[in-house]
Amino acid sequence: MQSNLFADSLENAYRVQIEEFEGPLDLLLHLIKKNELDIYNIPIASITKQYLEYLDLMKELNLDIAGEFLVMAATLLQIKSRMLLPVTPEEEDAEPEDPRAELVRRLLEYQRYRDASYQLTSRNLLGREVFARKFDSDEISENAPKEEPIDVELFELIDAFRRVLGRVSVETFHSVITDGISIADRISQVLTLLHGGKTISFDSLFHDGMTRDLLVVTFLSILELCKLKLIKITQAESLGSIWLTSSAQSEYLEEELEQEEILVG
């Protein structure tokens, strides 16, 4: 973990390297899936608007956006402009070329290789990290995944966080009271909640009365824990409830720390 992770406020530029998670093509595929669009007939104006909104939020969260995201934004704007241009007489005689064709080709090719990589990766995971999951309450047990959970993508997490921000009042955002909690502190709190293989929902970490800074700190803490492979983030179905569970690596780390405390004691 970087040294600025232990800063007392967000003034020090804490950044999560976005390329550690997914790239611009993943974001486009996420938007197409979320809006249930035909990949061969992408509404460029709508997708471009949503894409730029995601970039604005990622910048606000101080995520270190790779240059490829900005290049894709420029590409979408260029395609949008070309589709708005009137057709010339010469183009009317010839077969029109869809400005989206190259983008669609790239998306299909990327999706094919990404799906293949997921299948190859899953073969190495069969039979590994299998353990019984316990729940602390009947409410959590009822809402827990009934089938094999699926991994959550970065942009689904961002979607969930956008919904959290939408629930918080504007007055809370303008609060001048500082929370006085660092990302490292929040990471420690989240790991404490997950101690012993417990499962908690993503939404339970964001409650009424939290300031915007604390909301952002909490979300960045989740990203950092995911990046460090200390937690597993899953959901029962696509666009369903998101669940956090400590990973095997996290449990191993806890055992190491407990042994060190026993030796020191």
- Kindly report which listed range (81-90, 103-112, 142-151, 240-249) carries the lowest average pLDDT score: 142-151
Strand partners, 200: 244
pLDDT digits (tens, 9 = 90+) for 136-186: 555 555 555 454 556 778 888 888 898 888 877 555 444 444 456 788 899
User: Position 154: which residue type?
Assistant: L
Is the per-residue pLDDT at 111 higher than 80? yes
Q: Are 69 and 23 in contact (CB under 8 A)?
A: yes
User: Position 163: which residue type?
Assistant: R
- Kindly report which listed range (1-5, 17-21, 67-71, 120-124) carries the lowest average pLDDT score: 1-5
**Encoded tokens for 159:** 């979607």
pLDDT at 222: 92
pLDDT digits (tens, 9 = 90+) for 24-77: 999 999 999 999 999 999 999 999 999 999 999 888 887 767 788 899 999 999
CA atoms within 13 A on the CB side of 39: 15
Nearest to 115 by CA among 223, 219, 26, 8: 26
Nearest to 246 by CA among 211, 194, 207, 210: 194
Cα separation, 76 vs 24, whole angstroms: 11
**Encoded tokens for 169:** 């009042």
Nearest to 10 by CA among 216, 169, 148, 221: 216
